[in-house]
Amino acid sequence: MANTSAQSGPKILIVGGVAGGASTAARARRLSENAQIIMFERGPHVSFANCGLPYFLGGEITQQSKLLVQTPQALYDRFRIDVRTLSEVTAIDREAKEVTICNLQDKQTYTESYDHLVLSTGASPLVPPIPGIGKEGQFTLRNVVDTELIDQWIKNKKAQRAIVVGGGYIGLEMAEQLRHRGLEVVLAEALPQVMAPMDMEMANILHRTLRDHGIELHLGDPVASFESNGNGTTLVTLKSGTRLGADLVILGLGVRPETKLAREADLTLGERGGIRVNDHMQTNDPAIFAIGDAIEVRNRVTSQWSLVPLAGPANRQGRIVADNIFGRDATYKGTLGTAVLRLFELSAACTGINERTCQQANIPYEIVHLHPNHHVGYYPGAKPIALKLIFAPDTGKILGAQAVGEKGVDKRIDVIATAILGGMTVNDLAELELAYAPPFGAAKDPVNLAGMAAQNILAGDVAVMQWHQVQSLDLEKTLILDVRDDPERAAGHIPNTIHIPLNNLRDRLTELPKNKQILVHCQSGQRSYYACRILSLHGFQCANLTGSYKTWKMAQTN
């Protein structure tokens, strides 16, 4: 590569590549032809698709080269960026404005000065102090080298059974892909559910899907110890005493920010363990920026500091850093945590905050559950979406949403994420004009329906109850009314309910008491809303079970 030391622009050093670092470098070059840009990467690959790693292991991505987004030579040829792989930055001298680098090939060290330093050091897999952790046959997944090690182990050991520890995004993707590859898979999660950003009733759909695909699931049961059997197999003992044997173990226990460089340079760290930055992505040293998985970000809804290791935010942060270096006043306004996961035939997505976060932050909230089809029911292939919308009960401000289904999930969550970013309310959701044709949606899109259902609550047209309130009802004061048709009830029903089909309700009002509250449900919530309007207009006290039988049913088992 050419020597760029004679260039007259600012000298920008970037520690770490992948999403954030590479984005910073490319944007910086687009803003200046004179800047000297050097990127240091500890590993052998400077820019790779880490989100695609599980799919390479599962065989859906067949060529490893497809994972390499950029190479050092490609970055030099197009952007004149000096990329140095297998080069670890080991120290920062803030006073001298220089860093120390170790060439991992020959172990020689040298220094480079900087005008601006960008830390894109990422996050490392969490490896807690569990007895026996880290022994042979246990793997984390962070980079291309990790995929090679896991792939070779499976082939060499002729592995047939895998244990995935952790039910987050990586754990679930690895469970799916190892099953796709033909292995028996066990998934152990310390929490009572997988995919923590989702609430329990939504995660339960994923639990059933995992079991339906032959994955043995252990929830609410953390790992107590690992024991190597000496022949490459591992015995995993859970806190409950359950003992599980496997040919390999995937540790998907989450990640922690890589902050060693920042800590040793006396850069401010936050309570969550990440590097603390301002909205210009600057650390407490204005010449040093930090981005990506290594930093703490403001939650866009709660304004609280959080760790959100996602590629999309990291890319945007890299662009913002470059803009600020070259005098453009760009700010990062926070992260919604919008994410999507494919799990076999299902997609699961979320944005904003969940119900648990509302409770922990003492944020008042209301919820609607819906189960609309992803496109009109009369067009072939319509698939239901379980959609949960969380909003403020006074203003209608949208706080978050979750969705699970076979089709159309990502579209709806993306629309709601955009609405949150725009400061919109549920009233705006009801009014959104979204593309419609029978193969794609409905004249009233699921997003519109969610907004309308929330509007009904805000307007006082209907009161609602949640699935978890059913079990604590005082049946001396509340009657539960099922307004579904006979075949639906015969297929399953909520205990302690009476049954009057909606079409017969007006003729049987005398059977209902006016001195009790009536909780009404149908299959998904629409007919029970109609029933509530009838009852309210006839002087009854009533509430709609939001999401109705479908939501209640999916919340019953995990």
Residues with catalytic roles: 51
426 within 8 A of 398, measured Cβ to Cβ: yes
Burial class of residue 437, CB neighbours in 10 A (0-12, 13-18, 19+): exposed
Give SS3 for 287: coil
| 346-352/339-343 β-pairing | antiparallel
Residue 281 DSSP class? S
19 within 8 A of 315, measured Cβ to Cβ: yes
Give the number of other CB atoms < 10 A from CB of residue 194. Answer: 26
> With the C-alpha atoms ordered 123, 125, 128, 129, is the resulting torsion angle positive or negative?
negative
469-507 exposure pattern, b = at least 16 Cβ within 10 A, e = fewer? ebeeeeeeebbbbbbbbeebbeeebbeebeebbbeebee
Give SS3 for 41: strand
CA dist 361 → 36, 151, 305, 357, 411 (Å)? 45, 43, 12, 6, 28
Q: What is the largest CA-CA distance in the chain?
A: 91
In angstroms, the first-to-last Cα distance of the chain is 56
141 within 8 A of 154, measured Cβ to Cβ: no
451 within 8 A of 523, measured Cβ to Cβ: no
Triad 146, 151, 156: Cα angle to 5°? 125
- Identify the bridge partners of residue 541 per DSSP, sorted by sequence position: 517
Q: Where are the alpha helices (DSSP H) in 95-224?
A: 144-157, 169-180, 200-212
Give CA–CA dist 461/330, Å, rounded: 44
Distance of CA 59 to the CA centre of its chain: 23
φ, ψ for residue 196 (rounded to 5)?
-55, -30
Distance of CA 387 to the CA centre of its chain: 16
Triad 139, 142, 145: Cα angle to 5°? 75
- Identify the bridge partners of residue 102 per DSSP, sorted by sequence position: 88, 109
